[in-house]
Amino acid sequence: MQRSRLLVPVMATPNGTLAHPVYFLLVGIPGLGPNIHFWLAFPLCFMYALATLGNLAIVFIIRVERHLHEPMYLFLAMLSTIDLVLSSTTMPKMASLFLTGIQKIEFNICLAQMFLIHALSAMESAVLLAMAFDRFVAICHPLHHASVLTGPAVAKIGLAALTRGFVFFFPLPFILKRLSFCRTHTVTHSFCLHQDIMKLSCIDTTVNVVYGLFIILSVMGVDSLFIGVSYVLILRAVLGLSSRGAALKALNTCVSHLCAVLVFYVPLIGLSVVHRLGGSTSLLHVVMANIYLLLPPVVNPLVYGAKTKEIRSRVLYMFLQQGR
């Protein structure tokens, strides 16, 4: 009786009537009780505050400092904006789940959150690729850097990243709505992901599996391949420099970006592997998903703030001004 009240008939099909749940139930972290979830909410809130303040500071500093209106910093501002929206899409709902224990998330809200998570991740991947291209041109073809990465070119790259993320992942909510959900309505994460919602369906999900694999390979797979090629070419150019000091200086400009790439792609690859090979969702799946979504918005501003002299000095100046 309880299950029937949770399902809403949507439309009649040749295979029967599609049924969508009124809401899904978010588990949080499997195996942890309400008390542990409650205490985990406080470090999560701290991480959200850190991510928000850090990324806002970077966007603000790049916005007001005219001499930072260069491709590397403009791409960094795009990355921080994406991280800001991504953290706001996941962390507040997680904190509410941990603090209050309210697990319900409405069906359409869950699909909207899923779309934003995947689309923003694709946009972040595209911006990381653009940053790798910027470093490649700056190190391998320094005389052409200013003519290749002009202001309009940077704006077009940003628009292309936004458009690609939207276009590739916009179909996901609709191909999920064509499924019927007659099994459990429990999502074993703290947020909604395509592969987890898909597994709750009681009809064939071949279209979802194929399309999901296609966009992962054609978006994140292609981006990571080109980022790897960019750094192979950068390394070859750096090793060809006669001055060791010049080589170290060139590599030092890539450290922050390399950290951002590793923080983004290593958990993503790990999450993809455990989802493909791990069968039913386990604690490892959940931990990898949390690291993948929560870590980059927190780590990126810390790394770039520490490694970028212009941003670091501006932040210190802002704190000194407030202290007076």
All residues at 6 or more sequence positions from 23 whose CB lies less than 8 Å from its CB, including other chains: 6, 104, 105, 106, 107, 110, 185
What's the pLDDT score for residue 20?
81
What's the pLDDT score for residue 321?
67
What's the pLDDT score for residue 278?
55
Query: Which domains, and CATH codes, for the chain?
Result: 10-322 (1.20.1070.10)
State which residues of the chain have pLDDT below 70. Answer: 1-17, 183, 274-282, 319-324
Phi, psi values for residue 190, rounded to 5°: -95, 0
Phi, psi values for residue 208, rounded to 5°: -65, -40
Encode pLDDT of 12-27 as tens digits: 444 556 778 888 888 8
What's the pLDDT score for residue 16?
55
Phi, psi values for residue 137, rounded to 5°: -65, -40
All residues at 6 or more sequence positions from 288 whose CB lies less than 8 Å from its CB, including other chains: 267, 270, 271, 274
CA 228, CA 103: separation in Å to the nearest integer?
40
For 181, 245, 247, 255, 264, the CA distances from 252, given in Å and listed in that order, are 51, 10, 9, 5, 20
What's the pLDDT score for residue 50?
92
Q: At 24, is the secondary structure helix, strand, or coil?
A: strand
Q: Which helix (H) or strand (E) holds 319?
A: helix 309-323
What's the pLDDT score for residue 46?
93
- Whether the CB-CB separation of 93 and 186 falls below 8 Å is answered with no
Token look-up 């899409």 returns: 89
Q: What is the per-residue burial (b if ≥16 Cβ within 10 Å, else e) of 151-162? A: eeebeebbeebb
